[in-house]
Amino acid sequence: MSTPRVVLVSGCSSEALLRCERFASEGCRVYATARRLEAMAGLDAHPLISLEKMDVTSDADVRRVVELIVAQVGRIDIVVNNAGVMGVGPLIEQPMDTVNAVFDANTYGALRVAQAAFPHMAARRSGLVVNIGSVVADIAVPWNGTYSASKAAVRAMSDILSMELKPFNIRVMYIAPGSVRSNLSDNQAARFSLAPTSLYTTFLPNILQRIHASQGANSLPADAFAKTVVRRVLQKKPPRYMTLGGNSTAFAVFAWLPKGFVLWYLWRLYSRRT
């Protein structure tokens, strides 16, 4: 009987919970983490899933959880860097505190968790780091620039790690989701507002349009996304790059088109007046 693989997943809320359950259904020992334990309500009923509070922006918190897992089960086989926050609004008007917070959670957080797990994976000469990015990492779209930039950094970081971790037989997989069904957009729209001094007030309907763009009729159900992702992650040789979800094909086509045309088209799409 094979030993169950040990999976550490960060940012376990909304559709990420389904991924944890899918890993567990495949016999994996899952450590689901989030900044708030209440965000993972319901997962504690599964015997193969342990819940831990972990803030990916805290060095001490990340080290504590990684050392806890190693102490309990002796290793970490797979790290899934899923934690992330949005950064909606005109990039030029984003407060630097917001920019720093988005990069800390989305980019530095992913590297922080990978760094903490690396010595344990390297000692066993085995492991997989999975970084969840976005289709907007390579093809930037207006009104969510801080998020796009932070995920573009994750894409570059993933490519670099895929080379530099080869000597230790550690694989790196980058996943670029397109539209996946969740309640994130509704929550974001309910909280969003432009500053009273913003020069972009006439574009507010376009910004709200952009927030809801990922929840169109072609968005992929979260359970289907989780099933496909986990199946590919658990392959003997996982792919280095994977994209799926609504609009992922369109974004793949955008990558082959002249950049000037793509930027013109996306700006026109998200700057129309109704």
Tokens 């030993």 belong to 3
Active site residue 31: no
Q: Would you mind telling me the total number of residues written for the chain in this entry?
A: 274
Residue 108's CB is within 10 A of a number of other CB atoms, namely: 19
DSSP E strands in 40-197: the ranges are 49-53, 78-81, 127-132, 170-177
Among the listed residues 41, 59, 61, 60, the one whose alpha carbon sits nearest the alpha carbon of residue 51: 41
Question: What is the chain's percent helix, strand, coil content, to nearest 5?
Answer: 50, 15, 30
147, 200, 241, 270: the active-site residue: 147
For residue 34, give the 3-state DSSP assignment: strand
Rounded to whole angstroms, how far apart are CA atoms 204 and 243?
A: 30
Rounded to whole angstroms, how far apart are CA atoms 212 and 178?
A: 13
Cα separations in angstroms, 129 against 122, 163, 185, 243: 12, 12, 27, 16
40: tokens are 């993972």
For residue 44, give the 3-state DSSP assignment: helix
**Side-chain half-sphere CA neighbours of 70 within 13 A:** 15
Give the amino acid at 227. K
- Helix (H) / strand (E) containing 139: none
Rounded to whole angstroms, how far apart are CA atoms 119 and 124?
A: 9
| Enzyme catalytic residues | 147
